[in-house]
A and B are shown apart, each in its own frame.
Chain A
């Protein structure tokens, strides 16, 4: 069970958070102009990598803010935490 450094509250236990899946998947601004395939790409396709993954997390039992986490899924090491709308601090 890992510790997440919430950008608003500081370090808290993982049990206070919920994971919202892959980060940086923007909802299309004009969905009606997309083909079925393009829409399906947004709707269904998610990465599940062993290694560095960019994820959305929500401090659901705390400030309820969403933010982004860069996590190595092979060892749960968290490399960076940054707010929504910010650029990832690492590639």
Chain B
């Protein structure tokens, strides 16, 4: 460890607590308070990664979330490893293990580095242009391209960490823990407002907290001392909540924000145990203050990406906050006064600043005078034309800028250095502002986009440098003035502060700095992570891309994990310069959430595994489990699929169940079908309007099958409705359609027919339904309810009776979805399992066979009964289903009636439901398979198979299908082409079994 890079100054690092960590397998030490980046720099490690495309060596460039280069893989555990984490944001903890990404075999020797030498062959759009031909080769290219691209590795095991969601409601939410955020939060909280301050760092105070020099003074104290006092006061306010290590990811409309709070990422493994790792805050705030600050811009010049080239403000933070020298021989390169602040900090800490290259012709602020006196050379009106070094910068070439800044003149001077600070001015962090719907305006004098106060959504305000105030006096004065209006405050103690700020505010803006070489021979990087250069942007413009959104995608500028926090402004500037447009007219690319990456863990919170979705179980579920049912998900319901016995396959079980149901007795848990209780004096009229058939004449105690359409005439749902009383019905719907049918009926009642006196109540969960079918079903019911008259005269098919099973009230319907003589018992769900077991016991002597959804589907297919959603898909009318009989032709109106004779619905060549028989009765078709008439190309697709089974009762394969003009094609031979064979089929009737319905009354 190079101890000499760590200065012994009063800073924010606890040098009494040493922390060991590993980087690329090498054991290193840092101190409590370090980030991974500051600890690496203290160990004189700058090279941390390789760039995405050219694999150029890259070093730590910033100290915050804008870091494009120093993104690492943290942790080796396949369940916990985290890719693409910014080393500048990782707080050092004991045992931290981090690895470089995008390099092989190692960061020091990376084979992909060859791309750097091939770079003239790899311009923007290279992959798009090169791998287009021949098109069929893409699959072969893709493997290699995907293999060599990509940053970091995803975890391969389920995440072991815990994550939480929390709802937050506050009067005022302040985003940003810098000086403007602190003052805003303080004013809000002192007024008594319930305030939350969100700060993405582990400490409060932003960059002012380590600003320890008398060039900035507030009320005669250095700004850091003054701010510390404010923070101490702030922490004592009870109605203020401070969330450190929390980053706002998204700012939606109506002041709804999402923020990620890191709770354990800074702790060592044993301190993390059983703690929640991250919490997603879902915040609804009455008012929002955006105080997200600004980030420094780099400068764009030839070879501006070498390790050791760091933003000047970051060099300052490393020395002032972390006490780390980023080099022994540092030079600075700037277009504004910020670099001089860095120079003061460096010189005070004993670091030599050999030369400051300032592209401005003159800057005679108090600051620069102060520095010149220390012996640092200042070159005004100069620029850097090239840098030397490979894995670390070792020299800079400097030349005089021409008057217009477009070229260089004179002789080249070379300076040695091991670190170069660059400062291109500041960019306000307006991401959250624009996410919320705010519009930006361009400020020409210093080339920044700032929030347009006239196009700011209500109940929010931007303050401080995120609002374009970069110097201390402006920050404080404008924040106080604007917050006072925003919160409706009275006079306060911050209004007449004496603020001293010695900086010169002028800067000279040149987006792309010239070199003595032609641009084609230079590498001025714009987007460091994605390796796009100013050349690429110019190439895109030459190739005709005009929209900034297109240039962005073509060159991939701003599309890395840093989302172009450093690169976007320069890309825009270069586009504007090249095309002769004003940047304000050009606008920006869209800032999309999240502002900083979110983990999937935080997004899903506790909604994983069993909690991913609701699971609905019938009251009889436990019996099914005990009896080894295999389950099928139907919506949120768990339904028994089939009940395998003695190692049966699904096919074997379904064949056995289907046979048993027709030969003796079967029992099905039909509780999941939707049940809607309909009451009111207009109930009959209501049913008349929602179903296609007539209901007024249905007498009490009778059941009727109904088909429900959409207004477009297409079949929507079906089911049996029973008239329980004069003004009382119970409607059943399909399992999956239950909720939607209820909503649809409510909609019509409330909005179209409010004059109808009808009440709807869902009773799906309150009642359980078991259906007993087969020739012996009557005997079983007789055993359970001996008093019930089961004769066909007293209890005919499609009728209902109230009855009791051992004092349990039940409704018994004689309805059938299998074509067999059957009964449906409905009981209150808390009695259901009991009654079910009673049926099973009573049926034992008749070999009563529980069956699941698969057998149900097979039995109804034998009868040609449709399943809405399987045989229908929202494009079939009743007529298409050969169900014209169910349309009440005499009815004046019902939902969808008018659509049944639209020109499109009366076409004869619509797809229509038919039956299919395979020429080989053993051949079972695949559901979804296509039907064609001939195999001659081009092949005309006539339709597809919707249901297909092997019927044990008919001992042959049967299928339902929808076929163009199918109704007319009975007897026609068609072909089902499959991958390795063609199956010959014949179109038939849809009813395969018991066409005369004799078994219903058997």
A interface with B by C-beta (< 8 Å): 1-3, 13, 18, 20, 26-28, 30-32, 34, 36, 39-40, 43, 56, 58, 60, 64-66, 75-76, 84-85
Contact = CB atoms under 8 A, between A and B. Distances in A.
A32 B747 contact: no
B747 A20 contact: yes
A60 B743 CA distance: 8
B757 to A, nearest CB: 16
A64 B253 contact: no
Contacts of B752: 26-27
A58 B902 contact: no
Count chain A CB atoms within 10 A of each CB in B252, B747, B898, B899 and give the residue with the most: B898
Given A31-B898, A60-B743, A1 B252 contact: yes
A1 B254 contact: yes
B743 A58 contact: yes
B159 interface: no
B454 interface: no
Nearest to B902: A36
B711 A84 contact: no
Contact of A56 (B253, B254, B751): B751
A31 B976 CA distance: 42
B899 A32 contact: no
Interface string B453-482: 000010000000000000000000000000
Contacts of B457: 75
Given A64-B746, A75-B253, A32 B751 contact: no
A34 B898 contact: yes
A32 B892 contact: yes
Given A1-B253, A26-B752, A32-B892, 19 more contacts: A2-B253, A2-B254, A2-B256, A3-B254, A3-B284, A27-B711, A28-B898, A30-B893, A31-B893, A32-B897, A36-B903, A39-B898, A40-B902, A43-B712, A64-B746, A66-B750, A66-B751, A75-B437, A84-B750
A32 B888 CA distance: 14
Nearest to B893: A31
Nearest to A78: B254
B389 interface: no
Contacts of B375: none
A76 B254 contact: yes
B561 to A, nearest CB: 26
B921 interface: no
Interface string B222-264: 0000000000000000000000000000001110100000000
A1 B899 contact: no
Given A32-B893, A56-B751, A65-B750, A43 B253 contact: no
B899 A39 contact: yes
A65 B252 CA distance: 26
B899 to A, nearest CB: 7
A75 B253 CA distance: 8
A40 B892 CA distance: 19
A66 B898 contact: no
B754 interface: yes
17 contacts: A2-B256, A3-B254, A18-B743, A20-B747, A26-B752, A27-B752, A30-B893, A31-B897, A32-B898, A36-B902, A40-B902, A56-B751, A58-B743, A58-B747, A64-B746, A84-B750, A84-B754
Contact of A76 (B253, B743, B746, B750): B253
Interface in B604-642: none
Contacts of B892: 32
A36 B898 CA distance: 9
A26 B751 CA distance: 9
Q: Which 10 A-B pairs have the closest CB atoms?
A: A31-B898, A2-B254, A66-B750, A76-B253, A1-B256, A27-B752, A39-B898, A3-B254, A66-B751, A84-B751
Contacts of A2: 253-254, 256
Contacts of A76: 253-254
A66 B744 CA distance: 11
Nearest to A74: B437
Contacts of A58: 743, 746-747
Contacts of B747: 20, 58, 66
B437 A43 contact: no
Given A39-B902, A58-B743, A75-B437, A85 B754 contact: yes
A36 B18 CA distance: 82
Nearest to A39: B898
A34 B901 CA distance: 11
A22 to B, nearest CB: 12
A34 B903 CA distance: 13
Give the interface centre of B252, B253, B284 by most chain A CB atoms within 10 Å. Answer: B253
Interface string B889-919: 0001100011100110000000000000000
A49 B898 CA distance: 28
Nearest to B713: A43
A34 to B, nearest CB: 7
Nearest to A31: B898
Interface string B381-420: 0000000000000000000000000000000000000000
A14 B892 CA distance: 39
Given A60-B743, A75-B437, A43 B750 contact: no
Contacts of A31: 893, 897-898
Nearest to B895: A27
Contacts of A13: 284
Contacts of A36: 902-903
A76 B802 CA distance: 53
A28 B746 CA distance: 18
Max chain A CB contacts within 10 Å: which of B751, B752, B892? Answer: B751
Interface string B747-787: 10011101000000000000000000000000000000000
Nearest to B892: A32
Contacts of A40: 902
A62 to B, nearest CB: 13
B288 to A, nearest CB: 14
Contacts of B437: 75
A84 B747 CA distance: 11
B937 to A, nearest CB: 36
A60 B739 CA distance: 10
Nearest to B748: A27
Contacts of B743: 18, 58, 60
A32 B898 CA distance: 6
A14 B899 CA distance: 34
Contacts of A56: 751
Contacts of A43: 711-712, 899
A18 B740 CA distance: 12
Interface in B669-712: 711-712
Contacts of A20: 747
Nearest to B255: A3
A39 to B, nearest CB: 5
A29 B457 CA distance: 43
A78 B711 CA distance: 29
Contacts of B254: 1-3, 76
Interface string B919-961: 0000000000000000000000000000000000000000000
A79 to B, nearest CB: 13
A86 to B, nearest CB: 12
A44 B903 CA distance: 15
Nearest to B256: A1
Nearest to B710: A43
A2 B254 CA distance: 5
A48 to B, nearest CB: 19
Contacts of A64: 746
B959 to A, nearest CB: 33
A17 B897 CA distance: 30
Nearest to B894: A31
Interface string B282-297: 0010000000000000
